[in-house]
Structure 1
Amino acid sequence: MLLAAAGTSLGLLLAGCGDNPLSLSVSDSPAPTTTSTTQVQSATAFTPVVRIDIAVHWMDGFCGAVNGFTADNNAMTQPPFPKTPKAAKQIISKVLGDYAANLTKAIDRLTALPPAPDQVGKVAYLTFLGKYTSARDKVVAAKAQLDKAAPTNYAAQNRAAEAMDAAQEEVFSVIDPIRAILSSPTLKMASALARQCSPAAWYPSRIS
């Protein structure tokens, strides 16, 4: 669905301008196997307790970063159909640039979060941050290469479209911020209370 709100596939853009177009966790600790009061008390004493208000605040920011990225992309407008190779190059370059900008905003939102309340949240945070950063780097590099190429360099345009597809695959592998924290009872509860964790906003659109 990314930029399907923007509607036009990169492959379709390329098809109009030249030959050979490219159709564009951590689980809870197990219960002690012994009934020793000393062991149970010791384990309890070292089990971290997360305040629910802190967890809700963190989940609100985490979901907001992910859903903000989705909203930014679904709001992108449909590019015009190119009439020349130069126009096709400019349109593809703009799509790559806009996508990179949206990913950068999401990365900035994630890095502005306070430390995750528990290990599950930390893993989820690092996973989303890593995927967004990798996807952003792919499209930034592709745009730089495309911008250097001649307007009639259709191979460069094809490579740019392939990079966009690869970036989207990374993003679509981490769509749901709630699924990422389900093994944490505290964060699962917090997600039900966090305003930004509405399931309605989890799914971005795709440039096919």
Structure 2
Amino acid sequence: MRPRSTVLAALVTALGIGLAGCGQQPPVSQTHSGGQADTSSQADPAARWADGYCSAVTHLVRTLANLPEIDPSSPEQASRTSSRLLSSVVDGIDQTVEGLDRVGPPPLPGDDQARGDLLKQFSSVRSRADTARERLDTATDASTTKTALSDARATLDDVAALDVLQALNATPELSAAGKRAPDCQQLVVPPAPR
């Protein structure tokens, strides 16, 4: 059982597709983290917003890249390690949502619906992950453990289906701003070798 690789592969693919055009170098080659805008984006509110947005979703990307392994050696171990994995996912979502709350709505009128939709999706997936983790923690027999593990896997599939860049790609203006934002450049996935 290796849902970790499935989740990570799906997320990396989504990120690669979503930011395929963002491979140019930022205008000023100052890299930083934490959503702090450099001097090149001070006069560009959309790029500053995109930078903060990308910094926020990086929390979830890093969490998914560093998920704990699931130990399938026994139902008890699979349950215990899956619970830890789901706790990590919940923490990553929480950090991302906090970051998105700090960033606030985009600076362009009418562009906040995609961000709001994403926050609702995060809330729903987080709730399902927490419920699945609780079921794993309270499973008392093989049947309930098997059901809880199935729920956990479905929840991880839900996480993999999240389009963390949907608000950034909601409009051409925000998508272009992402190309100018240093933290968005860090999310670019290099093309696979042929």
Q: TM-score range by the shorter chain?
A: 0.5 to 0.7
Report the Cα distance in structure 1 between the residues aligned to 2:189 and 2:101, rounded to whole angstroms.
Answer: 20
Shift of 1:190: 1.6
TM-score scaled by length of structure 1? 0.62
TM-score scaled by length of structure 2? 0.65
What 5-or-longer segments of structure 1 have no aligned partner?
A: 8-50, 203-208
Report the Cα distance in structure 2 between the residues aligned to 1:110 and 1:74, rounded to whole angstroms.
Answer: 20
More helix by share: 2
Secondary structure in structure 2 of the residue aligned to 1:159: helix
Give the equivalent residue in structure 1 for 2:95. Answer: 105
Is 1:78 the counterpart of 2:69? The answer is yes
Report the Cα distance in structure 1 between the residues aligned to 2:137 and 2:181, rounded to whole angstroms.
Answer: 42
Is 1:4 the counterpart of 2:5? The answer is yes
Distance 1:100 1:127, change over 3 A: same
Shift of 1:52: 5.6
- Contact preservation (8 Å) 1:59, 1:191: yes
Distance 1:69 1:175, change over 3 A: same
Give the equivalent residue in structure 2 for 1:57. Answer: 48
Is 1:194 the counterpart of 2:181? The answer is yes
Shift of 1:120: 4.6
Determine which of 160, 163, 169 is the counterpart of 1:174. Answer: 163
Shift of 1:135: 0.5
Give the equivalent residue in structure 2 for 1:95. Answer: 85
Give the equivalent residue in structure 2 for 1:118. Answer: 108
Distance 1:197 1:166, change over 3 A: same
Distance 1:59 1:127, change over 3 A: same
Identity %: 18
Distance 1:167 1:92, change over 3 A: closer
- Contact preservation (8 Å) 1:71, 1:201: no
Determine which of 151, 167, 172 is the counterpart of 1:162. Answer: 151
- Contact preservation (8 Å) 2:132, 2:148: yes
For these two proteins, the number of residue pairs brought into alignment is: 155
Distance 1:137 1:178, change over 3 A: closer
Shift of 1:163: 4.4
Partner amino acid, structure 2, of 1:136:
R
- Contact preservation (8 Å) 2:67, 2:85: no
Secondary structure in structure 2 of the residue aligned to 1:188: helix
Shift of 1:60: 0.6
In terms of Rg, which structure is larger?
1
Secondary structure in structure 2 of the residue aligned to 1:115: coil
Distance 1:157 1:139, change over 3 A: farther
- Contact preservation (8 Å) 2:105, 2:115: no
Give the equivalent residue in structure 1 for 2:138. Answer: 148
Secondary structure in structure 2 of the residue aligned to 1:200: coil
Shift of 1:98: 1.5
What 5-or-longer segments of structure 2 have no aligned partner?
A: 9-41
- Contact preservation (8 Å) 1:60, 1:196: yes
CA-to-partner distance for each residue in 1:54-88, whole Å, 9 max, x for gaps?
11111111122223311221122433342x33222
Partner amino acid, structure 1, of 2:188:
A
